[in-house]
Amino acid sequence: MSQAAPEPRKTLDPDRVAEWLARHPDFFVGREGLLQQLTVPHPETKGATSLLERLVHDLRQRSQSAEQRLEQLLDSARHNEAQYRRTRELMLALLEAEDNDALGQALSTHLSERFQTPAVSLWCPASLTDNAPTPPQAPRHVLDEHTGQRLAAMLEGRVSRCTRMTPTDWKRLIPHAKAPTKTGSCAIAKLTLGEPQGYLVLASPDPEHFCASMDTLFTEYLADVLVRLSTRLNGHPHG
């Protein structure tokens, strides 16, 4: 009489085992010896290691990851603090300006020295400079029709924008600064207070300095401050 074939060995579903252990985290309490017998693949070398050694390794990795995230947060905090201090210095210098030419000079100097912005120009309508005793001094310029059309075209209907600037545009929009031989970049913002009051242009010969994906919140904020200070210095308080 032939012997019956042995039944196939039954194994537990690993997912069900993991699920069961997750619902019973105290399973190994009182079974510490079992923990010492368990082995798992080593994450960095061939072979196996004890479960406790693997846990120590994973905890060390998590600690290093947490330290890296903390350092990133600290770097971000230091950057934000430095940005706040530079912005504060700039705002105070603008508030201390006694006329619009001094306002433009303070803007140009602080942006160049503290914000690594090589060139700046402020374009204002002739109606805002007609009563001035002398023509505006760089970086301030009287906005003519051709320049206004070009700036509006570069903004493409937006309030502010970062974009590339060709040497031809540089000569037109930053006439007081030497134009680069290659395409640079710029940030443009409208000066608006109820009605258009001109344009603010920040420029760099580096084509990536003001990349298209860059946020323009600071440029808009600066434009809002400038148009209010300029209007007040012209003898037309706003509000």
| pLDDT at residue 150, as a whole number | 97
Q: Are residues 64 and 114 in the same domain?
A: no
Within-domain flag for 239:
no
Count CB atoms within 10 A of the CB of residue 32. 9
Q: Check: CB of residue 131 under 8 Å from CB of residue 234.
A: yes
pLDDT tens digit sequence for 127-176? 766 566 678 899 999 999 999 999 999 999 999 999 999 999 999 999 99
Contact by Cβ (8 Å): 185, 206: yes
Two tokens at 166?
A: 């060709």
Let me know if residue 42 belongs to a domain: no
pLDDT by residue (tens digit) across 23-76? 887 877 777 677 667 766 666 666 666 666 767 777 888 888 888 999 999 989
Same domain, 109 and 134: yes
Per-residue pLDDT tens for 202-228?
999 999 999 999 999 999 999 999 999
> What is the domain extent for residue 66?
49-96
The CA distance from 182 to 176, in Å, is: 17
Q: CA–CA separation, 218 vs 107, rounded Å?
A: 14
Per-residue pLDDT, 104? 95
Please check whether residues 149 and 208 belong to one and the same domain: yes
Q: What number is the average pLDDT over the span 105-123?
A: 96
**pLDDT for 239:** 46
Q: Are residues 184 and 85 in the same domain?
A: no
Task: Identify whether residues 114 and 229 lie together within a single domain.
Answer: yes
Q: How many domains does the chain have?
A: 2
Residues 83 and 113 in one domain: no
Specify the pLDDT at position 4: 58
